[in-house]
Structure 1
Amino acid sequence: MRILLTNDDGIYAPGLRALRLELMKLGTVTVVAPATEQSAAGHSVTLLTPLLVNEVFEDDARTFVGWAVEGRPADCVKLALLELLPEPPDVIISGMNAGSNAGINVLYSGTVAAAIEGAFYKQTAIAVSLEYDKKIYDYQAGARYARQVIEQILAQKPGAGSLFNVNIPVLERGPVRGVKVLPQNVSPYVEKFDRRVNQRGRTYFWASPEFTCPEPHPDTDVDALRESFITVTPLQFDLTDHVRMAQLKKWEWRIEK
């Protein structure tokens, strides 16, 4: 099996390193990932600057790992599929992200965006994230769980362009209770900004890393993560509201000349 591995935390991120080692049990892994952290980059792509690419090797300087790209996660997948890989991968894995990408965070996530980019190109794509508590991560254990879920998804032979979002719960909370297939929560998060003044008297703001979902709603990914379940959410990138579109077609539209 040929596996393309990417992320938004950067090619040297420990989550990617741990997941790569687990995925090597399933097949040949080639990494094409951002050279630097691109968290919350969403589905942005680079248009006005060149995409510099460097080969990356293991510490022994002999084992080829893949390419570091001076660009966004979506850039990495585009370059991998169109320029860097000699043949298409069998699956694209994005992650393992440091922090969950559940609920409305899916819209901001560079991790999920990379998987979406793969699905654009009719590849099976899976985004993987590890929830944290007080910034404590057990990447090795998280990667083992992720690999098991990925294996089971692929065993079902999903169709071309299938897209999945997988979240691993905080492992320090207790044992994983199982896997739940659930929709994403669409409640807004409570967010805060730290207001400060610099030495020249200019006001600036830092986005707080502490944000919560006050309305987790039963039977959604955010709620199940809190209960120590791994969540799997099938995604799609067609944003058309088909129900409302049918209603709009019944309207009488008028244009004055």
Structure 2
Amino acid sequence: MRILLTNDDGIYAPGLRALRAELLKLGTVTVVAPATEQSAAGHSVTLLTPLLVNEVYEDDATTFVGWAVEGRPADCVKLALLELLPEPPDVIISGMNAGSNAGINVLYSGTVAAAIEGAFYRHTAIAVSLEYDKKIYDFPTAAKYARQVIEQILARKPMKGSLFNVNLPVLEHGPIHGVRVMPQNVSPYTEKFDRRVNPRGRTYFWTNPEFTCPDPHPDTDVTALSESYITVTPLQFDLTDHAKMEHLKEWEWKVE
């Protein structure tokens, strides 16, 4: 099996390294990932500057890992599929992200965006993220669980272009209770900004990293994660509201 591995935390991120070690048990793994962290980059792509690319090797300086790209996660997948890989991959994995990508975070996530880009090109794509508590991550254990979930998804031979979002709960809270297929929670998160003043008297703001979901609807990815379940959410990138579109077709539209 040929696996393309990418992320938004950067090619040297420990989550990617741990997931790569597990995915090597399934086949050959080629990494094409951002050279630097691109968290919350969403589905942005680079248009006005060149995409610089460097080969990356293991510490032994002889084992080829892949390419570091001076660009966004979606750029990495585009370059991999159109320029860098000698053969198309059998699956595209994005992760493992440091922090969950559940609920509306899916819309901001560079991790999920990279998977979506792979699905654009009709490849099975899976985004993988690990929820944290006080910035504590057990990436090796989480990667083992993630690899098992990925194996089960691929064993079902999903249709080309299938897209999955996998989130793992905080492992330090106790044992994993299982896997649940859940819809995305669409409640807004509570967000804050830290207001500060620089030495020149200019006001600036830092985004506060603490996000909470005050209304986590039951039976969604956010609530299942809080109950120590791994969540799997099938996604699609067709944003058309088909039910509302039928209603709009009944309107009498006029222009003068």
Tell me if TM exceeds 0.5: yes
CA RMSD of aligned residues (A): 0.2
Q: What pairs with 1:60-209 in structure 2 (closer than 5 Å)?
A: 60-209=60-209
Cα distance in 2 for partners of 1:219, 1:161 equals: 26
Cα distance in 1 for partners of 2:113, 2:147 equals: 20
How much does 1:61 deviate? 0.1
Give the secondary-structure state (helix, strand or coil) at the position aligned to 2:246.
helix
Cα distance in 2 for partners of 1:88, 1:162 equals: 16
Give the secondary-structure state (helix, strand or coil) at the position aligned to 1:17.
helix
- Whether 1:34 aligns to 2:17 is no
Q: In the alignment, residue 150 of structure 1 is paired with which amino acid?
A: I
Instruction: State the identity as a percent.
Output: 86
User: CA offsets per residue over residues 123-152 of structure 1, 9 Å max, x none?
Assistant: 000000000000000000000000000000
How much does 1:15 deviate? 0.0
Give the secondary-structure state (helix, strand or coil) at the position aligned to 2:54.
strand
Cα distance in 1 for partners of 2:164, 2:28 equals: 21
Q: Which residue of 2 aligns with 1:7?
A: 7
User: CA offsets per residue over residues 15-52 of structure 1, 9 Å max, x none?
Assistant: 00000000000000000000000000000000000000
Q: In the alignment, residue 64 of structure 2 is paired with which amino acid?
A: F
Q: Which residue of 2 aligns with 1:239?
A: 239
| Structure 2 gap ranges (5+) | none
Give the secondary-structure state (helix, strand or coil) at the position aligned to 2:104.
helix
User: CA offsets per residue over residues 82-115 of structure 1, 9 Å max, x none?
Assistant: 0000010000000000000000000000000000
Q: Which residue of 1 aligns with 2:21?
A: 21
How much does 1:211 deviate? 1.1
The alignment's TM-score, normalised by the length of structure 1, stands at 0.99
User: CA offsets per residue over residues 174-209 of structure 1, 9 Å max, x none?
Assistant: 000000000000000000000000000000000000
Cα distance in 2 for partners of 1:56, 1:176 equals: 34
Give the secondary-structure state (helix, strand or coil) at the position aligned to 2:78.
helix
Cα distance in 2 for partners of 1:193, 1:254 equals: 44
| Structure 1 gap ranges (5+) | none
Report the count of equivalent residues: 256
How much does 1:227 deviate? 0.2
After superposing on structure 2, the runs of 4+ consecutive aligned residues of structure 1 that deviate more than 3 Å are none
Q: In the alignment, residue 103 of structure 1 is paired with which amino acid?
A: G
Cα distance in 1 for partners of 2:148, 2:93 equals: 13
Give the secondary-structure state (helix, strand or coil) at the position aligned to 2:145.
helix
